């Protein structure tokens, strides 16, 4: 068992003790939960061989009762998720900004547990839904647990927590028929969104390819809200948190995501598990954008508005540390399902702002754990326990684990020697930022939150051509699934506020005309206000294009962990296969041999190669790239194999890198690719010819480029 990497032996032992792992050895026998050895785990106690079962059978009843209660309520949102253990290392001390211990000591290695999730679907739903992805990190620090509960998108749909239940009711399956599962493409979602223009910016993100990541390991994470760092002197800086994946930010194609949903609905979960299992530990760097307290009002948007990001051109992201995930959970339920995150799990040196969405979250997460995990003692579940001891006067409750000694459970006390003392005495405890609040009690939406469209346009303008095209198609798809014409029209009208061409492109496909409304609607108007004073508006962003918002500019120099399918049939050329396999594996990719049947596949020279998948058990959507080795007999076989040809066509449609060696090129010829333009030239299609001796090198470059999206503009592929 790999362990969380920690800074001392003692600490590792502590973590191990907390985890209460149960491993079975040969000298252990089956027992009941009371420790009674069980002789027969096959038969109920009966009155005679063929007689009725006896109620007396406490062993059977204990087993069945436990089974009957195995399920707990799934999370109301983010129900579908998977997680891993790892550690965080700090690059540089941040004492100037925060007194948080784990952000000051570069020698300290902080254990973490990270859970990725989709938002809308149930626990058993597909990983591949078009959705926001949750990105929750629990840092087990020396000052208690710190949870950074973020998403893979830096903004949110709504500005005030009061609207969260409405948003979630709208996106979840419709209540009359419980359809559709894990999908936003239905009437209630777009009804709500079309009446909530504050969601315009987030909708751009949700319709972009960010909502269909290639892998959890290839997506960014964001704290979303503006938080505060506080240093030893009590000085505060505003801070936005970013996680930047070292493998770059990459996405799937929408058609591919839909196919994968059927072929492998656990695709993201499996990908994370396999990567860690094979020692390819995913890594992210932690970045912060820091804003001086005095600059709070210098932006054209409000720092407290969670529908806004701070363009990196205005405030650069400083990279301060790195997170590595190096251990899969031992037990999904005990760890991934029972982990309880909470934006209110803070450490000294980090604090909230008054973002009204964040403020509401501070209530919701404890409340939800009570109903989901069933007890205020959820912090005692091993995965939720801090690595530092807990001392307080809280007692009892369902499933209490801690055995508190002594007769005092109150403070102040003299009988218990006054223990436990307030941490104030050693000046290391948590203190909220000393913020001046002097105001009237009101239910209001700040007018500084009314710019609903400025950053939606910034996001759209920052996308590359193909990203814009994907975004437009996603809107066409989603709104095309909406039955109500009024809702579609209202949505198209909102799009006119973001970009006229986008609105018209979407409208055309829906059989509508894009119309700019005279008065943009806004339903988030305080009850006693004049709606005219609260109209949605568009404030032009001072940054017109932000490179960081496009995936086009991401890291594209590695093929680490990329999955490459080798399409084979008996009689392939083993030199060709082995040469490519070696080159790809040396660059960090994973090669899988596909053949007509499982077992072994024989090369032309009679060598046996073990087969990983057959054409029946796998599909191109499970891979990043495809290679067809040389070989006369195998080529003839593949040309007659409809599944192999479909494999190639589909990979081509999804703009993947495809390479073929020598005779293998003939297989491409009869596929939709057709290889006619002097056998090469099309982006991401690499074929061997006497002139092209650098097949491996070019293929590696094409895979690292992730996808040749530009191919989409050339022609439609009917795979
Ligand atoms: Fe939330 C879970 C992220 C707004 C209420 N949320 C949850 C999870 C993530 C987020 C990643 C899954 C945690 C896990 O893996 O167990 N939520 C966000 C972000 C938000 C946000 C980034 C906005 C910036 N959430 C939000 C609001 C509310 C909630 C405004 C309620 C007022 N969220 C919850 C919850 C959940 C939750 C109901 C369900 C399960 C859980 O908390 O533990 O309390």
pLDDT tens column, 677-693: 555 568 899 998 666 66
Average pLDDT of the segment spanning 204-221: 98
pLDDT for res 713: 74
Average pLDDT of the segment spanning 259-272: 98
pLDDT at residue 367 tops 50: yes
Q: Is residue 459 classed as helix, strand or coil in its secondary structure?
A: helix
Place of tokens 């930047």: 244
**CA 74 / ligand 1 centre spacing (Å):** 13
Q: How confident is the model at residue 3 (pLDDT cuts 50, 70, 90)?
A: very low
Give the position, in ligand 1's atom list, of the atom nearest the Cα of 78. 12
- What is the model's pTM? 0.95
**Which residue has the CA at smallest separation from atom 15 of ligand 1?**
115
Which residue intervals of 160-199 are DSSP H helices? 164-171, 187-194
Per the CB < 8 A criterion, the answer to whether 213 and 251 are in contact is yes
Residue of 459, 540, 534, 539 whose CA lies nearest to 502: 459
Q: Which of 113, 242, 341 should be mutated for ligand 1, with most atoms under 8 A from CB?
A: 341
Pocket lining: 685 vs ligand 1, CB cutoff 6 Å: no
Tokens of 29: 């026998």
What pLDDT, in 10s, does the model give residues 288-339? 999 999 999 999 999 999 999 999 999 999 999 999 999 999 999 999 999 9
What are 698-703's contacts with CB under 8 Å, separation 24+? 698/659, 699/580, 699/583, 699/584, 699/625, 699/627, 699/657, 699/659, 700/559, 700/583, 700/584, 700/587, 700/589, 702/625, 702/657, 702/659, 703/559, 703/562, 703/564, 703/584, 703/589, 703/624, 703/625, 703/657
pLDDT at residue 255 tops 70: yes
pLDDT for res 6: 44
Query: How many other β-carbons are positioned within 10 Å of the β-carbon of residue 235?
Result: 14
**Which residue has the CA at smallest separation from atom 4 of ligand 1?**
361
Per the CB < 8 A criterion, the answer to whether 238 and 353 are in contact is yes
SS3 content of the chain, % helix, strand, coil (to 5): 35, 15, 50
Query: How many other β-carbons are positioned within 10 Å of the β-carbon of residue 504?
Result: 17
Residue of 580, 555, 554 whose CA lies nearest to 566: 580
Q: Is residue 587 classed as helix, strand or coil in its secondary structure?
A: coil
Residue of 134, 153, 383, 116 whose CA lies nearest to 270: 116
For this structure, is 151 an active site residue? Answer: yes
pLDDT at residue 21 tops 60: no
Per the CB < 8 A criterion, the answer to whether 178 and 475 are in contact is no
pLDDT for res 526: 87
Using the Cα atoms of residue 620, residue 623, residue 624 and residue 629 in order, give the sign of their dihedral: negative
Q: How confident is the model at residue 524 (pLDDT cuts 50, 70, 90)?
A: confident
pLDDT at residue 346 tops 80: yes
Average pLDDT of the segment spanning 12-29: 61
Give the position, in ligand 1's atom list, of the atom nearest the Cα of 116. 15
Q: Which residues of 156-190 are buried (b: 16+ CB within 10 A; e: fewer)?
A: bbbbbbebbeebeebbbbeeeeeebebbbbbebbb
pLDDT for res 560: 97
For this structure, is 377 an active site residue? Answer: no
Mean pLDDT value across the chain: 94
User: Which of the following is catalytic: 104, 145, 151, 384?
Assistant: 151
pLDDT for res 209: 98
Pocket lining: 156 vs ligand 1, CB cutoff 6 Å: yes
> Range with the lowest mean pLDDT among 198-202, 319-323, 422-426, 615-619?
422-426
pLDDT at residue 469 tops 60: yes
pLDDT for res 473: 97
> Range with the lowest mean pLDDT among 234-238, 600-604, 694-698?
694-698
What are 66-70's contacts with CB under 8 Å, separation 24+? 66/33
pLDDT for res 523: 83
572: which DSSP letter? B
pLDDT for res 41: 96
**CA 128 / ligand 1 centre spacing (Å):** 20
Query: Could you please report the per-residue DSSP string of 589-648?
Result: -EEEEEESSSSEEEBTTS-EEE-SEETTT--GGG-SEEEE---HHHHHHHHT-HHHHHHH
Pocket lining: 433 vs ligand 1, CB cutoff 6 Å: no
**CA 380 / ligand 1 centre spacing (Å):** 21
**CA 172 / ligand 1 centre spacing (Å):** 15
From the number of C-beta atoms within 10 Å of its C-beta (0-12, 13-18, 19+), residue 240 rates as buried
Which has more pLDDT, 457 or 532?
457
pLDDT for res 20: 52
Average pLDDT of the segment spanning 39-51: 96
What are 544-549's contacts with CB under 8 Å, separation 24+? 544/458, 544/461, 545/458, 545/461, 545/462, 546/311, 546/312, 546/313, 546/458, 546/462, 547/312, 547/462, 548/311, 548/312, 548/317, 549/311, 549/458, 549/459, 549/462, 549/463
Q: Which residues lie below 8 Å from residue 109, measured CB to CB, with a gap of 6+? A: 5, 6, 7, 87, 88, 89
pLDDT at residue 534 tops 50: yes
Q: How confident is the model at residue 1 (pLDDT cuts 50, 70, 90)?
A: very low
**CA 119 / ligand 1 centre spacing (Å):** 9
pLDDT at residue 202 tops 90: yes
Distance CA 401, CA 417 (A): 24
CA–chain centroid gap for 339, Å, is: 16
Average pLDDT of the segment spanning 649-674: 94
Residue of 482, 103, 114 whose CA lies nearest to 287: 103
Distance CA 293, CA 238 (A): 7
Per the CB < 8 A criterion, the answer to whether 189 and 170 are in contact is yes
> Regarding beta strands 283-292 and 236-245, do their DSSP bridges make them parallel or antiparallel, or are they unpaired?
antiparallel
Tokens of 566: 């080798």
Average pLDDT of the segment spanning 611-615: 98
**Which residue has the CA at smallest separation from atom 11 of ligand 1?**
134
What pLDDT, in 10s, does the model give residues 559-592? 999 999 999 999 999 999 999 999 999 999 999 9
Pocket lining: 361 vs ligand 1, CB cutoff 6 Å: yes
What pLDDT, in 10s, does the model give residues 379-401? 999 999 999 999 999 999 999 99
Pocket lining: 345 vs ligand 1, CB cutoff 6 Å: no
**CA 114 / ligand 1 centre spacing (Å):** 14
Query: How many other β-carbons are positioned within 10 Å of the β-carbon of residue 668?
Result: 22
What pLDDT, in 10s, does the model give residues 85-134? 999 999 999 999 999 999 999 999 999 999 999 999 999 999 999 999 99
Q: Which residues of 126-152 are buried (b: 16+ CB within 10 A; e: fewer)?
A: bbbbbbbbbbbbbbbbebbbbbbbbbb
Pocket lining: 30 vs ligand 1, CB cutoff 6 Å: no
**CA 77 / ligand 1 centre spacing (Å):** 7
Which helix (H) or strand (E) segment is 337 a member of?
none
Distance CA 656, CA 540 (A): 37
Question: 593 vs 196, 571, 587, 614, 625, CA distance in Å?
Answer: 50, 14, 17, 8, 12
In sequence order, what are the beta bridge partners of 595?
Answer: 614
pLDDT for res 4: 41
**Which residue has the CA at smallest separation from atom 23 of ligand 1?**
156
């Amino acid at each position: 068992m790999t362990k969380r990497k920690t800074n001392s032996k003692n600490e590792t032992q502590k973590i191990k003790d907390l985890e209460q792992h149960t491993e079975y050895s040969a000298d252990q026998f089956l027992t009941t939960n009371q420790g009674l050895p069980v002789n027969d785990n096959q038969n109920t106690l009966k009155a005679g061989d063929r007689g009725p079962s006896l109620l007396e059978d406490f062993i059977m009843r204990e087993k069945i009762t436990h089974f009957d209660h195995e399920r707990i309520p799934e999370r109301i949102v983010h129900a579908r998720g998977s997680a891993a253990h790892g550690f965080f290392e700090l690059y540089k001390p941040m004492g100037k900004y925060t007194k948080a211990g784990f952000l000051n000591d570069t020698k300290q290695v902080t254990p973490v547990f990270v859970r990725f999730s989709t938002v809308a679907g149930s626990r058993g739903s597909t990983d591949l839904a078009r959705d926001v992805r949750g990105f929750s990190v629990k840092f087990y620090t020396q000052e208690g647990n710190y949870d950074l509960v973020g998403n893979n998108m830096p903004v949110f749909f709504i500005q005030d927590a009061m609207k969260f239940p409405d948003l979630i009711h709208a996106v979840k399956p419709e209540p009359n028929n419980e359809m559709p599962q894990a999908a936003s493409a239905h009437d209630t979602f777009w009804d709500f969104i079309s009446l909530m223009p504050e969601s315009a910016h987030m909708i751009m993100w949700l319709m972009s390819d960010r909502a269909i990541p290639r892998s959890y390991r290839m997506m960014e994470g964001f704290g979303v809200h503006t938080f505060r760092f506080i240093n030893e002197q009590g000085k505060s800086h505003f801070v936005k948190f970013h996680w930047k994946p070292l493998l770059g930010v990459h996405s799937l194609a929408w058609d591919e995501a839909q196919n994968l949903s059927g072929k492998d609905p656990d695709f993201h979960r499996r990908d994370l598990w396999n990567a860690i299992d094979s020692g390819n530990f995913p890594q992210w760097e932690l970045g912060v954008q820091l804003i001086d307290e005095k600059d709070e009002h210098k932006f054209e948007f409000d720092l407290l508005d969670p529908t806004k990001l701070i363009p990196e051109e205005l405030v650069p992201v400083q990279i301060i540390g790195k997170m590595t995930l190096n251990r899969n959970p031992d037990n999904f339920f005990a760890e991934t399902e029972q982990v309880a995150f909470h934006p209110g799990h803070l450490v000294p040196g980090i604090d909230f702002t008054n973002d009204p969405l964040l403020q509401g979250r501070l209530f919701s997460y404890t409340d939800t754990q009570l109903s989901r995990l069933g007890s205020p003692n959820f912090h005692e579940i091993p995965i939720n326990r801090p690595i530092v001891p807990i001392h307080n006067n809280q007692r009892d409750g369902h499933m209490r684990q801690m055995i508190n000694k002594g007769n005092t459970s109150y403070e102040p006390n003299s009988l218990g020697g006054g223990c436990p003392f307030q941490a104030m005495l050693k000046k290391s405890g948590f203190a909220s930022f000393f913020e001046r609040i002097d105001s009237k009690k009101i239910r209001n939406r700040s007018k500084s939150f009314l710019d609903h469209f400025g950053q939606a346009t910034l996001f759209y303008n920052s996308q590359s051509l193909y990203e814009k095209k994907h975004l437009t198609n996603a809107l066409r798809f989603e709104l095309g699934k909406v039955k109500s014409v009024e809702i579609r029209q209202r949505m198209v009208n909102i799009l006119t506020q973001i970009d006229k061409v986008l609105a018209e492109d979407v409208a055309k496909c829906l059989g509508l005309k894009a119309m700019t409304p005279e008065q943009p609607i806004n339903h988030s108007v305080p009850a006693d206000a004049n709606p005219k004073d609260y109209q949605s508006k568009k404030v032009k962003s001072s940054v017109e294009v932000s490179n960081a918002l496009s995936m086009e500019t991401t890291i594209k120099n590695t093929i680490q962990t990329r999955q490459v399918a080798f399409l084979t049939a008996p009689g392939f050329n083993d030199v060709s296969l082995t040469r490519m396999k070696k080159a790809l594996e040396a660059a960090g990719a994973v090669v899988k041999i596909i053949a007509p049947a499982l077992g072994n596949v024989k090369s032309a020279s009679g060598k046996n190669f073990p087969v990983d998948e057959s054409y029946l058990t796998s599909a191109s959507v499970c891979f990043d790239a495809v290679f067809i080795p040389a070989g006369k007999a195998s080529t003839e076989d593949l040309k007659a194999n409809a599944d192999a040809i479909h494999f190639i066509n589909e990979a081509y449609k999804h703009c993947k890198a495809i390479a073929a060696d020598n005779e293998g090129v003939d297989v491409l010829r009869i596929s939709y690719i057709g290889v006619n333009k002097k056998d090469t030239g099309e982006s991401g299609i690499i074929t061997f010819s006497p002139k092209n001796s650098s097949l491996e090198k070019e293929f590696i470059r094409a895979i690292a480029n992730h996808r040749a999206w530009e191919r989409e503009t050339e022609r439609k592929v009917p795979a």
